[in-house]
């Protein structure tokens, strides 16, 4: 019962409360963001997608911590979730600043990611860590495309995405160090396909 309450509390906090970052939001000193209406709309769509990714990260890490077989890995996943909370807060704050909104489908994204986290964990801790590595690598590549697509003058969003990209690379490296094994090619392709559906939908909804 305690675990169920903790899971429910985590989901409600992620989906419906305002997250608080531990680290200060990244900024580019001396660069002021000035955007046209169209640029703000475009940035908001991209940051909404990034916010969805952080909602999913909370679900994934929570599920993997729940199902991890070793106590050290449970703590590894919990720490990763705490670090990802910064990203959740930064992207949500940036959405508010530019008049955007979170995805209306966030509960669906959370539930799907939680289920994937549990499924990965059923194959063992090393596979679960391998899922983290592949997820973070795909997210890192996705964020790189957003750096290309964000308006050149949107210094605030670009600073956030740059820091997120560095953090995701760090999480992948930590998972490798903890004993991750590579996922088979079909699993990686399925993950890419699922991510494509999510990012395309979240861009608009």
Radius of gyration of the chain (CA): 17
Q: Which helix (H) or strand (E) holds 70?
A: none
What is the pTM assigned to this prediction?
0.92
Q: How far apart are the C-alpha atoms of 9 and 14, rounded to whole Å?
A: 9
Q: What is the pLDDT of residue 71?
A: 86
- The 10s digit of each residue's pLDDT in 85-101 is 999 999 999 999 999 99
Q: How far apart are the C-alpha atoms of 71 and 59, rounded to whole Å?
A: 19
Q: Which residues contact 1 (CB under 8 A, 6 or more apart)?
A: none
- The 10s digit of each residue's pLDDT in 17-55 is 888 999 999 986 656 678 899 999 999 999 999 999 999
**Multiple choice CATH, 39-202, 3.40.50.720, 1.10.3720.10, 3.40.50.800, 1.20.1260.10:** 1.20.1260.10
Q: Which residues of the chain register pLDDT less than 50?
A: none
Residue 190 CA to chain centroid, in angstroms?
18
CA 170, 25, 59, 150: dihedral to nearest 10 degrees? -80
Q: What is the pLDDT of residue 27?
A: 81
């Amino acid at each position: 019962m305690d675990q169920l309450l903790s899971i429910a509390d985590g989901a409600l906090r992620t989906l419906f409360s305002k997250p608080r970052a531990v680290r200060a939001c990244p900024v580019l000193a001396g660069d002021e963001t000035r955007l046209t209406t169209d640029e703000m709309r475009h940035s908001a769509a991209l940051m909404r997608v990034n916010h969805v990714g952080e909602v999913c990260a909370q679900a994934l890490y929570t599920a993997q911590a729940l199902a991890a077989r070793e106590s050290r890995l449970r703590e590894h996943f919990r720490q990763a979730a705490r670090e990802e909370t910064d990203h959740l807060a930064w992207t949500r704050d940036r959405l508010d600043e530019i008049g955007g909104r979170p995805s209306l489908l966030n509960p669906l994204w959370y539930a799907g990611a939680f289920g994937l986290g549990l499924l990965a964990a059923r194959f063992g801790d090393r596979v679960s860590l391998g899922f983290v590595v592949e997820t973070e690598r795909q997210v890192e590549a996705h964020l790189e495309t957003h750096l290309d697509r964000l308006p050149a003058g949107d210094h605030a969003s670009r600073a956030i995405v740059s820091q997120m990209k560095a953090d995701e690379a760090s999480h992948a490296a930590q998972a490798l160090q903890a004993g991750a094994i590579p996922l088979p090619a079909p699993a990686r392709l399925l993950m890419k396909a699922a991510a494509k559906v999510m990012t395309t939908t979240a861009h608009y909804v």
